[in-house]
């Protein structure tokens, strides 16, 4: 019996074909799943990652609330064109404290994985209020109300606690000082700035929205955008990625 004749057994008998499909799917699934039982973690540890500050976390929640992820991904793929446009490809560890992560594939707008420190706070403020003022061809809607809406911090401590419950390593000290740290990050002259910077390395304290004395939702969003892609020193990974 030739090979083609043997194959005809599967083509003419639906039960045999179905059984063969199930067996192949089972083998493929085992090959992918079994190795995971022998790994302590599927996420490579990298230096520099930390939980979001309370203000950054609030900004991230507003970012999600306004549906920004519908047009912006935060996942740079390991392909030459993406790396040249956006920077080093995304590492799984960069999203280890994101619930939910913002990787996705939708790109009506550019990927934001490395947007931190790419533009000034003033640029972000103007862009959020009137996108076409800085990007004439932008199709992004404006969010001027963010600059006028006071940031509600009443439940922010609960949000931090919830993140801690799902594995984000917030300390008791960080949880106890949520309100203090929000005020300190907004105001570089605050008496608690040094303690805030100690609790959250690689963070910055400044007036993000340009409205001294007023804590707005825009402050939170800009603080979040400015931290994206800034925590990891990617020069340590360039050789591995063959980017040099």
Predicted pLDDT of residue 237: 65
Cis peptide before 70 (omega within 30 of 0): no
Q: What residues contact 200, with CB distance under 8 A and at least 6 apart? A: 50, 51, 53, 174, 181
Distance of CA 192 to the CA centre of its chain: 27
Distance of CA 124 to the CA centre of its chain: 18
Long-range contacts of the stretch 192-195 (C-beta < 8 A, 24+): none
State the residue for tokens 């609330």.
Answer: 65
Q: What is the pTM of this model?
A: 0.83
d(CA 184, CA 204): 10
Nearest to 178 by CA among 202, 146, 200: 200
CB-count exposure of residue 225 (10 Å: 0-12, 13-18, 19+): buried
Predicted pLDDT of residue 241: 46
Question: What string of pLDDT tens digits covers the 244 residues of the chain?
Answer: 566 677 777 777 888 889 989 999 999 999 988 887 877 766 677 888 999 999 999 999 999 999 999 999 999 999 999 999 999 999 988 999 999 999 988 889 999 999 999 999 999 999 999 999 999 999 999 999 999 999 999 999 999 999 999 999 999 999 999 999 999 999 999 999 999 999 999 999 999 999 998 999 999 999 999 999 999 987 776 554 444 3
């Amino acid at each position: 019996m030739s090979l083609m004749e043997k194959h005809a057994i599967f083509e003419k008998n639906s039960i045999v074909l179905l059984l063969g499909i199930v067996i192949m799917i089972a083998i493929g699934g085992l090959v992918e799943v079994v190795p995971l039982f022998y790994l302590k973690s599927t996420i490579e540890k990298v230096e520099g990652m930390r939980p979001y500050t309370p203000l950054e976390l609030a900004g991230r929640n507003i970012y999600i609330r306004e549906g920004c992820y519908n047009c912006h991904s935060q996942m740079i793929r390991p392909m030459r064109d993406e790396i040249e446009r956006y920077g080093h490809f995304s590492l799984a560890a960069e999203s280890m404290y994101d619930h939910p992560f913002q990787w996705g594939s939708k790109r009506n707008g550019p990927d934001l994985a490395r947007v931190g420190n790419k533009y000034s706070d003033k640029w972000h403020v103007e862009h959020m209020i009137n996108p076409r003022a800085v990007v004439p061809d932008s199709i992004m809607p404006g969010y001027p109300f963010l600059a006028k809406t006071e940031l509600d911090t009443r439940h922010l401590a609960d949000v931090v606690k919830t993140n801690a419950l799902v594995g984000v390593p917030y300390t008791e000290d960080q949880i106890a000082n949520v309100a203090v740290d929000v005020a300190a990050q907004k105001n570089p002259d605050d008496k608690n700035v040094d303690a805030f910077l100690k609790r959250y390395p690689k963070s910055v304290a400044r007036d993000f929205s340009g409205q001294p004395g007023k804590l707005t939702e825009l402050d939170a969003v800009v603080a979040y955008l400015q931290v994206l892609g800034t925590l990891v020193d990617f020069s340590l990974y360039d050789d591995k990625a063959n980017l040099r």
